[in-house]
């Protein structure tokens, strides 16, 4: 089975630009897809996003990019983390690793997520935060 087209496109993107910003974006995208079976109530996600936005705005410019180690993302991650959700995300990362077989850059990013569950959870939380913040469009 060949990898999905979006994974191939992500592989090309990572191969062309090995910068940390591109990698951080890839981690968030991969964590988001890996977290497709993580169940977070919409109202709970919205409330956590509001709190995270407050943290973001008290730190300066609320329009600046999200940082996986920043207060807003870590606050969102802490608000939403549970054992069941963390395990579901880890299962999703393992499944996505199988789907990305043959794509060295994507596989390495997924390996990093698998080896650092805390970073994987923050990347997932960042994806939820982006989704919640963009939901008003």
What range defines the domain where residue 73 resides? Answer: 5-134
CA distance 68 to 55: 14
pLDDT of residue 23: 86
Average pLDDT over residues 114-122: 96
Q: What is the pTM of this model?
A: 0.88
Give the confidence band of 92 by pLDDT, cuts at 50, 70, 90: very high
The answer to whether residue 120 scores a pLDDT higher than 80 is yes
Give which of 70, 78, 66, 83 is closest to 28, Cα–Cα. 66
CA distance 50 to 62: 12
- The answer to whether residues 110 and 100 touch, using CB atoms and an 8 Å cutoff, is yes
Q: How many domains does the chain have?
A: 1
């Amino acid at each position: 089975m060949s990898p999905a087209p979006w994974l191939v496109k992500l592989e090309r993107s990572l191969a062309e630009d090995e910068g940390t910003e591109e990698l951080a974006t890839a981690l968030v995208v991969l964590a988001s897809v890996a977290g497709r079976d993580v169940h977070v109530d919409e109202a709970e996600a919205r409330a956590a996003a509001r709190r995270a936005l407050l943290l973001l705005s008290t730190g300066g410019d609320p329009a600046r990019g999200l940082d996986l180690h920043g207060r807003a993302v870590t606050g969102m991650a802490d608000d939403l983390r549970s054992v069941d959700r963390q395990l579901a995300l880890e299962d999703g990362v393992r499944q996505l690793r199988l789907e990305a077989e043959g794509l060295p850059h994507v596989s390495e990013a997924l390996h990093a997520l698998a080896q650092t569950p805390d970073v994987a959870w923050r990347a997932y939380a960042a994806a939820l935060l982006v989704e919640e913040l963009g939901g008003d469009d």
